[in-house]
């Protein structure tokens, strides 16, 4: 079983011990970081999966509706299919903004504390 090696520390900086990692993992600060991630990622993932399954179910069981032409040769199925791509990119953009604003500062604070404990 292969294990990942941590990134190299700055020269002369000792790596945190297992006990220090355990302390951080059990800290309120780390719990808040996990909560901030989960409160964003889990609901959005569930919503996107529901949206995708709705598209699949409509494609299979509502052929007449999906074949309804909206504009010219563009039908509901094509527009909803393209909307799947659009929502994927919007979610990625939204998550990047969320991570930069809420997750990265908390993670950086934890990292700085870990590196400064020596």
Closest CA to 49 of 39, 41, 59, 38: 41
Determine which of 1-5, 46-50, 100-104 has the lowest per-residue pLDDT on average. Answer: 1-5
* Residue in this structure with the two tokens 């309804």, named with its chain if needed: 68
Long-range CB pairs of 7-16 (<8 Å, 24+ gap) are 9/115, 13/115, 13/118, 14/118, 16/114, 16/115, 16/117
pLDDT band at 8 (very low <50, low <70, confident <90, very high): low
The residue-averaged pLDDT of 21-28 equals: 92
Q: What is the pLDDT of residue 1?
A: 52
- How close are the terminal C-alpha atoms of the chain, in Å? 31
- pLDDT tens by residue, 26-44: 999 999 999 999 999 999 9
Q: Average pLDDT, whole number, for the chain? A: 90
Q: What is the pLDDT of residue 15?
A: 79
Q: What is the pLDDT of residue 80?
A: 96
The residue-averaged pLDDT of 54-67 equals: 96
Structural domain boundaries of the chain?
26-116
3-state secondary structure of 70: strand
């Amino acid at each position: 079983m292969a294990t990942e090696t941590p990134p190299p520390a700055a020269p002369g900086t000792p790596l945190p011990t297992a006990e220090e990692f355990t302390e951080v993992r059990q800290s309120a600060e780390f719990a808040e970081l996990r909560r901030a991630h989960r409160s964003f990622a889990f609901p959005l993932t569930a919503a996107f999966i529901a949206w995708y399954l709705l598209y699949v179910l409509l494609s299979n069981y509502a052929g007449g509706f999906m074949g309804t032409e909206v504009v010219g040769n563009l039908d509901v199925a094509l527009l909803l299919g393209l909307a799947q791509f659009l929502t994927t990119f919007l979610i990625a953009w939204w998550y990047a903004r969320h991570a930069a604003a809420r997750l990265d500062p908390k993670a950086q604070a934890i990292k700085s504390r870990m590196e400064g404990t020596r």
